[in-house]
Amino acid sequence: MLVRYMKEEDLGDVHTIEDSIFSRPWKIEDFRQSLYNPNNLYLVVEEQDVILGYCGLWGVVGEGQITNVAVAKQYRGRHVAEVMLTKLIELGRKQGLEAFTLEVRESNRAAITLYHKLGFKDAGVRKNFYEAPVENALIMWL
């Protein structure tokens, strides 16, 4: 697996994964705008020229708001998310980010377990944060 910076030419594959996973997927233009913001950091994981997953964060005043974490369903269980998030945090720290935060569906036990493994701590709940279906978000900080 190769973790690298997301490029413009990745956006079609990234959006295909996004659209297959999330009930309210980002549009390609959402990714494009985030990709070209100099405060943001977006990565993909690829293997044999196939994108397995992607992640990204918005850098704001020394903190990284992790906005996207996704692995294509057929590549789950191979530690793709762990590899890419470890790299995202490493690169964020090199850019001067000192803390990282994210929201995750309360029912997403696999993701919560991974975030705990990476050192994130539970910090609160955002009631009815998610739509389709409506669900609370667990707020986590590293």
List, by residue number, the catalytic residues: 103, 115
Order the strands of the 135-141 sheet from edge to edge: 2-5, 40-47, 50-60, 63-71, 99-105, 135-141, 121-130
Q: How many other C-beta atoms lie within 10 A of the C-beta of residue 59?
A: 18
| Residue 77 token pair | 């269980």
Contact present, 45 and 24 (Cβ < 8 Å): no
Q: Look at residue 98 and give its three-state secondary structure.
A: coil
Per-residue burial over 4-24, b if 16 or more Cβ lie within 10 Å, else e, is: eebeeebbebbbebbeeeeee
